[in-house]
Amino acid sequence: MVGRQVSTEHRDEIDGEPVFWRSEEAGANAGGASVLYVHGVPDTSDQWEPFLLRTGGVAVDLPGFGRTTKRGDFDFSIEGYGRWLDRFAEHVGLDRFRLVVHDWGALALSWAARRAASVERLAIIDAVPLLPGYRWHRLARVWRRRGLGELAMGLTTRWAARRMVPPQVVELAWPHFDQGTQRAILRLYRSADPEALAAAGARLGELTAPALVVWGEDDPYVPARFADAYAEALGGEARVLRAPGAGHWAWYDRPDLVTTVAEFVSR
């Protein structure tokens, strides 16, 4: 991988619908297990590029995001994404794997708990809490309201987005932030009230693989206390790493976290 600047891009179909993912050859330390990276809102697999080039593995655009299907009748819920991840894992031959999630990529935790024996390592970065006690942040509450959420999405400009999230996030996500992605975001948030989030995480204790929970202490969307809550909910040994001065996309504020996560999942 010396000198590589980009991972390999794949475009194919699952059940007749387009799917896009990135891949990089796994490092020698992975022991034959791939690393699966799952992004959140409003991201795509592009955000995982610096991680992929260090660990190898697979990063996929979830339905509704990036270059994967955005058809309107997809089930944009935790359960719907779980069924789709079953199909994707089968499509790419993903058996044993190490899982890295960020933000709404947490939905893959619910999916992974159903196949916990296949999960060898787990890294959680500023993830939506599939845990009791979380209440949505202000922007999410707007998106969850019908009519108001559509209005807010329609009024979102690149300039406005840069005021809410890091510019690096905007530059990667904006080319794909079309009506299909906006619809996916609204439906996903509306499918998940606090009780549904807690229910989705009911089997987190079945994930017994070694885990690393990374959290930006200045995350404006999810309080850092949920890093400890995740570590307590998991069934195996979990290390918590809080990152002072880092926000929701912690590795943009603390680039050293890319190396920290990569070394953990490759170990």
The DSSP result for 180-218, as a single string, is: HHHHHHHHHHHT--HHHHHHHTTTGGG--S-EEEEEETT
- Domain of residue 93 covers 8-135+194-266
Please check whether residue 99 lies inside any domain of the structure: yes
Please check whether residue 86 lies inside any domain of the structure: yes
Q: How confident is the model at residue 89 (pLDDT cuts 50, 70, 90)?
A: very high
* Backbone Cα Rg of the chain: 17
pLDDT recorded at residue 186: 98
Please check whether residue 129 lies inside any domain of the structure: yes
Sign, CA dihedral 57-185-141-47, equals positive
236: Cβ–Cβ under 8 A, 6 or more apart, which residues? 207, 208, 209, 210, 211
Please check whether residue 160 lies inside any domain of the structure: no
Interatomic CA distance for residues 175 and 150, integer angstroms:
19
pLDDT recorded at residue 5: 65
Please check whether residue 250 lies inside any domain of the structure: yes
Please check whether residue 2 lies inside any domain of the structure: no
Are residues 214 and 125 in contact, defined by beta-carbon separation less than 8 angstroms? yes
pLDDT in tens, 5-29: 688 999 999 999 999 999 998 754 4
pLDDT recorded at residue 32: 53
pLDDT in tens, 42-73: 999 999 999 999 999 999 999 999 999 999 99
pLDDT recorded at residue 6: 82
pTM, entire model = 0.95
pLDDT in tens, 125-178: 999 999 999 999 999 999 999 999 999 999 999 998 998 899 999 999 999 999
pLDDT recorded at residue 3: 43
pLDDT recorded at residue 267: 87
pLDDT recorded at residue 163: 87
Interatomic CA distance for residues 245 and 144, integer angstroms:
29
Q: What percent of the chain has pLDDT over 90?
A: 92
Please check whether residue 171 lies inside any domain of the structure: no
Please check whether residue 104 lies inside any domain of the structure: yes
**How many structural domains are present in the chain?**
1
- Report the mean per-residue pLDDT for the chain: 94
Least confident of 22-26, 68-72, 203-207, 217-221: 22-26
Tokens of 169: 């996030």
Calculate mean pLDDT across residues 193-220: 97
Q: Please report, for the domain that includes residue 125, its CATH number.
A: 3.40.50.1820
Least confident of 13-27, 94-108, 191-205: 13-27
pLDDT recorded at residue 33: 66
Q: What percent of the chain has pLDDT over 70?
A: 96
